[in-house]
Amino acid sequence: MKQFKNISFIMLVAATLFACDKKLDVLPQQNITPDQIKTASDVKALLFGGYKLMQSASAFGEQYLLMGDLIASESQVDFVGTFTEYRDVQNKTMVANNGVAQTMWANSYTLINTVNTVLDKINLLGDDEKDAIAGEAKFMRGVALFELVNYYAQPYSNGNAGSQPGVPIITAPVYAYDASKDNPARATVEAVYQQVISDLTEAAQSLPDAPEDFRAGKYAAEAFLARVYMNMGNYTGAAQMADDVINNSGLSLVSSFDKCFNNVGNSSEDIFGIQQTSQSNSGTSNGGLTTFYAAQPTGRGDAQMNANYFSFFNDDDARLYYYYEGVSIGGFSGYYTRKWEDFYKTIPVARLAEMYLTRGEANLHSGEQVGDASPADDINIVRSRAGTTPIDEPTVQDFVDERLRELGFEGDRMLTLKRLQMDIDGFSFDDPKLVFPIPQREIDVNKNLAQNPGY
């Protein structure tokens, strides 16, 4: 009897010991796992993640814009800060392990992977919104690939787009690392452009004309297509895109130049803008446009205006006066653009003013007239808003200069000079030093990636 009691006691204890296997399945509390993407709104949440990645300092929050302007810094930007990787971009002395080259690359592909996941899960959406969400995802992928090919490859205007290495094109999400297929080689520049055109075209076809919440719509896709076509020298295509935005988007130039910037929400001429708040922004201490472009004490004040910038303006041009004097964190005094004066404000990524300049210049190149305005009309609508005298017979150079006046510090200059095969800071437009290195880290881990010349 006693033995039996003991045995049953042991059995009882043993049984309780073996009962907590289920406790080992623990779900994370501030992340979700991929199998928790189950509904249409889950997929849309992933899509919205893409906007956060576009807001990053490694994208439109800073580097997509600032890096181009540091490459084409002459008459525009002087970087007086201590960050070596930024100084090296301006001096065209980048090394293969440049930190910006690394973060911009990585963030862009994180964006691509995010929207590829959206596209993979697109069937969780109903037919009423499936196409529009897919279009939005493709917009982001097209934009990211376009920015990558602009920075990490020779320009399309180089003439060898079919053989020049571009960047890897990734169109499927990565759920688990597979060394045999996740070490992609670089596609050609031509192939990247075709992917970008395909993505943006599909986006333009399926996105709404008037999106909510400052999301990307049809005209955002078209504005980027206009840039793509300009780079390719497809002036008719560029003019058509710009023309459609001008005529049909319902947007209009704001009344005065200074109202284009430091807005909460989009202005009436913002085709696409990145939104920021005090709790969601591209950075306030070591990253973000305002961090570098605003003088102390707001920002670091590392990115000052080059004094020669002022020589491009007539005295009656309101844009000439859109600056202030200040001091950098390193103690250098200088001039600062007001475009990025305040934290937590909208970053205009594509403005209507650019479309006028694009349509006008494209028509000038092609000799056609897409739309109801002449190149002079287009350049002057932008000039008159700034209160300066019109140009009767604008040349291509006038458009190049006008773009610097209107779009300076907005990341336009490098693209404009490269596509027109113009020298940049004394370097030929296709000089390897004007191209970012493929990050050394990527070369180290992916044997299929070829490095750019000079690194």
Partner 1 sequence: MRLKFLLLAVMLSCISAFAQQTKNISGKVIDVKDGSPLSGVTIKGKGSSRVVTSQPDGSFSISLPADISELEFSFVGFADITVGISDNMLVKMSASEKSLNEVVVVGFGRAVKRNLTGSIAKVSGREVENFPAPSFESALQGKAAGVVVESGSGKIGQSIKVRIRGTSSISASSQPFYVIDGLPVTSQSQSDVNNDPTNPLADINPNDIESIEVLKDASAAAIYGARAANGVVLITTKKGRNNQKTQIELNVANSWSNPSRKWSFLDARQYVDLIELAATSDGTYDFKNDLSGYETLDDAVNDYKSFYEGNILDYFSLGTDWKTQEVNTNWQDQLYNKDAMSKQIDLSVTGGNDKTRFFISGFYNDQDAIVINNTFKRYGGRFNLEHNASAKLSLGINVAVSRSQLNRVSNDNAFSTPGQLVAQLPISPLYDSTGALNKNTLYSNGLFDAQFNSDEQVTFRTLGNAFANYNIIPSLSFRSEFGADILNLDQQAFQGKETIDGGGIGKGNFITSQNVVFNTNNYFTYAPKIGENHKLNAVLGMSYQQGDVSQTFSYGEEYPSDAIKNLAGATSITASSSTGFRYTFLSYFLRGNYSYKNKYLFSASVRTDASSRFGPENRYGWFPAGSVGWVLSEEKFMENISFINFLKLRASWGLTGNAEIGESNYQALYGVSNYPGLPGYIPNQLGNPGLKWEKTAQADAGLEFAVLNNRLNGEVDYYKKHTTDLLLAVNIPATTGYSTILQNLGNMDNQGWEFTLTSRNFDGKFKWTTSINAGYNKNKVLNIGGQVIEGGGGLQRAVEGQPIGVFFMQKFVGVDPETGDAQYLDKDGKITTDYDQAERMVVGKSNPDWTGGFTNTFSYKGFDLNILFTFVQGNNVYNGGGVYMTAGFFNGFDNQTTNMLNAWTQPGDKTDVPRIGYFYGSGSRNSSRWLYEGSYIRLRNVTFGYTMPKKLNTALHITSARLYVAGINLWTATKYPGDPEVNTQTLGNIGGGQDFYTIPQPKTITLGLNVKF
For the segment 35-54, give every residue that binds partner 1 (CB under 8 A). 36-37, 42, 44-53
Give the range of 9-17, 126-134, 187-195, 390-398 binding partner 1 by CB under 8 A: 9-17
213 makes contact with partner 1 (CB under 8 A): yes
446 makes contact with partner 1 (CB under 8 A): yes
Figure out which of the listed residues 40, 174, 329, 422 binds partner 1, where binding follows CB under 8 A: 174
Figure out which of the listed residues 83, 85, 106, 400 binds partner 1, where binding follows CB under 8 A: 106
Residue 449 CB, shortest distance to partner 1, in Å, is 8
First to last CA, the chain: 85
CA of 301: how far to CAs of 30, 51, 87, 288, 292, in Å? 36, 27, 14, 12, 5
**Which of residues 108 and 363 has its CB atom nearest to partner 1 in the complex?**
108
Residue 383, CA atoms < 13 Å, CB-side half-sphere = 22
Residue 37 CB, shortest distance to partner 1, in Å, is 8
At residue 325, the 3 state secondary structure works out as strand
**Which of residues 275 and 416 has its CB atom nearest to partner 1 in the complex?**
275
Residue 46 CB, shortest distance to partner 1, in Å, is 5
Give residues 49-88 in contact with partner 1 (rule: CB under 8 A).
Answer: 49-53, 55
8 makes contact with partner 1 (CB under 8 A): no
122 makes contact with partner 1 (CB under 8 A): no
25 makes contact with partner 1 (CB under 8 A): yes
At residue 321, the 3 state secondary structure works out as helix
Residue 445 CB, shortest distance to partner 1, in Å, is 5
For residue 445, the one-letter residue type is V
Question: What is the rounded CA–CA span in Å between residue 27 and residue 315?
Answer: 64
**How many other C-beta atoms lie within 10 A of the C-beta of residue 6?**
10
Figure out which of the listed residues 59, 140, 170, 200 binds partner 1, where binding follows CB under 8 A: 170
Q: Are 282 and 289 in contact (CB under 8 A)?
A: yes
Give residues 368-407 in contact with partner 1 (rule: CB under 8 A).
Answer: none
Number of residues that bind partner 1 (CB under 8 A): 71
Tokens in use for 450? 């070829």
**Which of residues 215 and 400 has its CB atom nearest to partner 1 in the complex?**
215
Residue 168 CB, shortest distance to partner 1, in Å, is 5
34 makes contact with partner 1 (CB under 8 A): yes
Figure out which of the listed residues 123, 177, 367, 392 binds partner 1, where binding follows CB under 8 A: 177
Q: Are 294 and 340 in contact (CB under 8 A)?
A: yes
* CA-wise closest residue to 418 among 237, 140, 161, 163: 161
Figure out which of the listed residues 81, 142, 165, 168 binds partner 1, where binding follows CB under 8 A: 168
Residue 34 CB, shortest distance to partner 1, in Å, is 5
CA of 444: how far to CAs of 96, 254, 441, in Å? 11, 49, 5
11 makes contact with partner 1 (CB under 8 A): no
**Which of residues 97 and 268 has its CB atom nearest to partner 1 in the complex?**
97
**How many other C-beta atoms lie within 10 A of the C-beta of residue 384?**
12
Q: Are 53 and 59 in contact (CB under 8 A)?
A: yes
Tokens in use for 346? 């909208």
Q: Are 240 and 362 in contact (CB under 8 A)?
A: no
Give residues 182-201 in contact with partner 1 (rule: CB under 8 A).
Answer: 182-184
**Which of residues 3 and 255 has its CB atom nearest to partner 1 in the complex?**
3
Which of 183-199 are b and which e, b meaning 16 or more Cβ less than 10 Å from the residue's Cβ?
eeebbbbbbbbebbbeb
105 makes contact with partner 1 (CB under 8 A): yes
